[in-house]
Structure formats: structure tokens, C-alpha cells
Amino acid sequence: MTAKACVPEQRPPPASGGRSAAAAVLTEEQRSYAAENHNLILAFLRRENFSADDYYDIAALGFLRAVKNWFGDAATRRYRFSTIAWNAMRQSIASYHRAETRRRETEQKYLDGVPAQPDLLEETEYNILLHDLASKAGDRQYELAQLRMQGYSVAEVAKKQGMPPHRVRKLLKELYQVYLKLYTTNEKGG
């Protein structure tokens, strides 16, 4: 097997007069036909409830593809051009949506795989609070406070500790009052 030199595909230079690169690949007859039927793009967007600001370019690519097919494939001429154009624009927008969905899914998979960074300030405040509570609370109250700070509800803490919820609330309220006294005293004195 012999290696062939890689030759870039030859394309005509961009058309002058402000025409886009996509328009440059159309013949003069195709460009004229596209210009005559240009209103189909806006009619399609209105009828399908797509914003022209967001979808014009995407629909226009499908429209230009339809123009090329209309002139290049005699079999398509048995249908009205508007039918061919609308199908091409619909396919173009559907392809765009599929690509966007894949992009969002890939982005979400990436974000799901990236471990969340801990908030060091929040973690430090949590540890200081636990330290202060440990110095003022009994063992039982400390366990209850620790479970609540981990996100357990009062009912879950009560079930886990085997006590009624009203008892958990009472012990936590007592601890909260001690904690409040501790901090109001420290703020006045410090």
C-alpha cells in the first residue's frame, strides 16, 4: 500500500460583494433562485414559532442546501420547492438541537465527574462551633447537635437516638441558650 500525499480540497475563493462563503458555492442561477424565494426562511420560522434572531442562520443553511438539491437532483423537482426547503430547514434545526443536547449532556457528565470543592471557611466555622459546643454540652446534647448540623431533621435525630422528638427539641433548645450566652458574653468582653 503506497501513501498518497494529502492534498487539501480545492474550493473557489470567497465571492466578492459581501457574499458569504456558503453563497459562493452556489451558481449564479442558484443564487438568484435563493434570493427570489428567500421569504420562505422567515415564513418557516414564523410558522414553526422559532425566533429569527436565534434560528435564522441555522434555517438559512438548510434553505441553501435545498436550493442546491433542487438544482442538482431532478427527482426533487417533482415536489414544490417550498416543501423541499421546509424539510431541509426543519432537518437543519433538528440537527442543531441534537448537537446542543449532546453538548449539554457531555458538559453535565463532566460537571458530575468533577468533585465539589469544600468551602474551607464554612468547614472552619463548623469545626469551631462544634468545639465550642463540646466544651459546654453534655455528651447527649453534643451528639444531637452534631446530627442536626449534618442535616438530619429533628424527627430523624429522635429516631436515631431512640427518644421522642419533643425531648430532642428541649435538649437542643437548652444547648442553644447556653451557646447564645457564651457568644454574647464573649462579644461583650472581647
Q: Is 96 helix (H, G, I), strand (E, B) or coil?
A: helix
Least confident of 38-52, 62-76, 123-137, 139-153: 123-137
Per cent of the chain over pLDDT 70 is 82
Computed over every residue of the chain, the mean pLDDT equals: 81
**What pLDDT, on the 0 to 100 scale, is given for residue 179?**
75
**What pLDDT, on the 0 to 100 scale, is given for residue 11?**
37
Assign 13 a pLDDT band (cuts: 50, 70, 90).
Answer: very low
Reported as a single tens digit per residue, the pLDDT across 19-56 is 444 445 889 999 999 999 999 999 999 999 999 999 99
Assign 141 a pLDDT band (cuts: 50, 70, 90).
Answer: confident
Specify the residue for cell string 435545498. 66
Domains annotated on the chain, with CATH = 21-113 (no CATH), 120-189 (1.10.10.10)
Residue 15 has pLDDT above 70, yes or no: no
Burial of 44 (0-12, 13-18, 19+ CB in 10 A): buried
**What pLDDT, on the 0 to 100 scale, is given for residue 7?**
39
**What pLDDT, on the 0 to 100 scale, is given for residue 175?**
80
Cα 134 from Cα 35, distance rounded (Å): 79
Higher pLDDT pick, 126 / 96: 96
Q: Which of 115, 113, 41 is nearest to 81 (CA)?
A: 41
C-alpha cell at 190: 472581647
Mean pLDDT on 69-80: 90
